[in-house]
Amino acid sequence: MVLSLTAGTCYAGRMKDRHDVSEAQQLDPASRRLLERVEIEGIELVRFLYVDHGGVVRGKAAARGRLAERLGTGIGHTVAMMAMNMLDRLPAVPGMGPVGEVRLVPDPATFVPLPYAPGAAAMLADLRDLDGSPWAACPRSFLRDAVAALDAEGYALLVAFEPEFTLGRRLPGDPLDRLAPVDDSACYAATGFDTAHDYAMRLLRALESQGLRVEHYHPELGHGQQELSIRPAAPLRAADNHVLYRETVRGVALRMAMWASLAPKPVAGQPGNGAHLHLSLWDAEGGRNLLAGGDGELSDLGRHFVGGLIAHLPALVALTCGTVNSFRRLSPRSWSSAYACYGPDNREAAVRICSPLSPGSVNLELKPSDSSANPYLSLGAVIHAGLDGLRRRLDPGEPVDVDPDDLSETARARLGVHRLPATLDEALDALESDEFLMEALGPLRRTAYLAVKRSEAAAFAAQDEAFELFHHFRVF
Ligand code: GLU
Ligand code: MG
């Protein structure tokens, strides 16, 4: 078997002659530097990570002695894993049965030693066919293609996830564990800084050491709830960063005998954990923010981009809020949004137009977004939706400057403001009827995504709330 990947990323295709030249000598300079780092830093295992359709971060690790070869060939993986749901159950998906193999091929540019797992490092991996081409269900390739479409039309996007999570301890329960928050501090309260201080410092250092630049940190509204945000980056980097962030939040907690969960609603009766998506649209050179009109208003392009988001929002939430548990969070008066509308600094609107910190710096905040989503699929779909708005010059309607839940039904109907889907099944129905997004996903990915998510909806519908909370804080 011979792999031939794109030039510059690997040496595969020359595996036949590896008897006379070592793998390391055949690698590109970036990969050779990576191998040197592995030696110098005493790394023994390198995790090749990807995110599946259930939103779960999974992977396989290469031992140091095999790394040079694995950088090129990747590690073999069954196609069936992209049909696995978050409960580790496998719905039937044509093309993802027990027969068939893909390769987890790591992106050397994402290599990071893991500060919470001494001796281990990680890379984000693509899923490739055996001939080296991107597999039709590879999530990173989906996002990469969306970015290429944006680029082809002369646009660039800057993205930041703004994740919240619950810090606590896992209490053995009968029959299921509970997540007990680490404190009961009030929102933004200084007490919360102290109760979570040791964890927050370790988390901050662990993130910074992986190249994630921390922007802000504060104790949030919920018991044990924390928010720590990362500086914006180009889309693929931002999604990779979000995967590393999720891993780090949990890894650091585990090393301190705690349990951290980014699940949308891991504790009954407590506020949810969002991962609001901040977006700004730029010209290709990155010199001009295209969302900014005069006086902090949206430009025409900005209105069209928002128009695309609003038009596709019912379907988008099936990808940005990807779990059954996500829909407990999307309720009125929780600043997570429950209606498809937009407004300047409106924390109850699905799209908040953030007031500029400096002239010309307008950015959008998509609130129906959480960390149980596959960030590559959610961000890729958001880009496609925005692009559709730009191409078709979609009009987002009037901005909403009140809590949409305070408006009468009639007033909402007049403004064209609709409730977001209230369940995962409703969101999946909307996705299935959104021809544009279904086309963007492509046949294999959309079939698998819908099957995985429908199977989760059915599995949790047959169980109670405690089961749902347990499995979501266990996995996310
Ligand atoms: N926790 C809220 C959510 O679920 C967000 C609160 C905030 O605006 O920071 O989205
Ligand atoms: Mg927050």
3-state secondary structure of 269: coil
- Helices 139-152, 375-391: crossing angle, 10 deg rounding: 20
Pocket test for ligand 1, best of 161, 220, 327 (most atoms within 8 A of CB): 220
Give the domain 5-136 fold: Ubiquitin-like (UB roll) (3.10.20)
Per-residue pLDDT in tens (0 to 9) along the chain, 476 residues: 233 333 333 333 333 334 334 666 678 888 899 999 999 999 999 999 999 999 999 999 999 999 999 999 999 999 999 999 999 999 999 999 999 999 999 999 999 999 999 999 999 999 999 999 999 999 999 999 999 999 999 999 999 999 999 999 999 988 899 999 999 999 999 999 999 999 999 999 999 999 999 999 999 999 999 999 999 999 999 999 999 999 999 999 999 999 999 999 999 999 999 999 999 999 988 889 999 987 778 999 999 999 999 999 999 999 999 999 999 999 999 999 999 999 999 999 999 999 877 777 899 999 999 999 999 999 999 999 999 999 999 999 999 999 999 999 999 999 999 999 999 999 999 999 999 999 999 999 999 999 999 999 999 999 999 999 999 999 99
Q: Report the atom number in ligand 1 closest to the C-alpha of 164.
A: 1
Q: Where are the alpha helices (DSSP H) in 274-336?
A: 300-320, 326-329
Sign, CA dihedral 113-114-120-121, equals negative
pLDDT, residue 297, reads: 85
pLDDT, residue 24, reads: 63
* Helix and strand element counts for the chain (H, E): 15, 16
Q: 239 — alpha (psi -120 to 50), left (phi > 0) or beta?
A: alpha
Of 306, 279, 281, the residue nearest 291 (C-alpha): 281
Instruction: Say which residues have a Cβ less than 8 Å from residue 377's Cβ, sequence separation at least 6.
Output: 53, 139, 142, 143, 319, 322, 441, 445, 449
Pocket test for ligand 1, best of 164, 261, 420 (most atoms within 8 A of CB): 164
3-state secondary structure of 63: strand
DSSP 321: S
Largest Cα separation within the chain, whole Å, is 77
Strand partners, 165: 226
DSSP 157: E
pLDDT, residue 85, reads: 98
428 with 454: CB under 8 angstroms?
A: yes
Gap between the Cα atoms of 293 and 302, Å rounded: 8
Instruction: Say which residues have a Cβ less than 8 Å from residue 354's Cβ, sequence separation at least 6.
Output: 278, 345, 362, 363, 364, 365
Gap between the Cα atoms of 5 and 26, Å rounded: 13
Gap between the Cα atoms of 347 and 333, Å rounded: 9
Instruction: Say which residues have a Cβ less than 8 Å from residue 170's Cβ, sequence separation at least 6.
Output: 177, 178, 179, 180, 259
Q: Where are the alpha helices (DSSP H) in 78-189?
A: 139-152
Residue 313's alpha-carbon distances to 263, 322, 372, 381, 434, in angstroms, are 21, 13, 17, 10, 10
Gap between the Cα atoms of 16 and 13, Å rounded: 7
Give strand ranges (E) for 331-375.
339-344, 349-354, 363-366
Q: Report the atom number in ligand 1 closest to the C-alpha of 227.
A: 9
3-state secondary structure of 370: coil
Cβ-based burial of 254 (10 A; exposed 0-12, middle 13-18, buried ≥19)? middle
pLDDT, residue 294, reads: 78
Gap between the Cα atoms of 239 and 376, Å rounded: 6
Q: Which two tokens stand for residue 307?
A: 């128009």
127 with 101: CB under 8 angstroms?
A: no
Q: Which ligand is nearest to the Cα of residue 227, counting in written order?
A: 2
pLDDT, residue 462, reads: 96
Distance 257 CA to ligand 1 centre (A): 26
Q: Which two tokens stand for residue 173?
A: 């329960």
Strand partners, 217: 228
C-alpha 126 chain-centroid distance: 15
Domain locations in the chain? 5-136, 145-475
Torsion of CA 233, 42, 28, 47, to 10 degrees: -60
Which residues have CB under 6 Å of ligand 1?
164, 271-272, 274, 329, 334-336, 347, 367
Pocket test for ligand 1, best of 161, 267, 321, 335 (most atoms within 8 A of CB): 335
pLDDT, residue 23, reads: 64
Give strand ranges (E) for 232-348.
259-261, 275-283, 339-344
- For strand 339-344 and strand 349-354, is the pairing parallel, antiparallel, or unpaired? parallel
pLDDT, residue 295, reads: 74
pLDDT, residue 147, reads: 98
pLDDT, residue 22, reads: 62
pLDDT, residue 26, reads: 74
Looking at 1.10.540.10, 3.30.70.20, 1.10.460.10, 3.30.590.10, the CATH number of the domain 145-475 comes to 3.30.590.10
348 with 122: CB under 8 angstroms?
A: no
Gap between the Cα atoms of 191 and 185, Å rounded: 6
Instruction: Say which residues have a Cβ less than 8 Å from residue 71's Cβ, sequence separation at least 6.
Output: 10, 23, 27, 31, 34, 35, 106, 108
pLDDT, residue 25, reads: 66
| Omega prior to 115 cis, within 30 of 0 | no
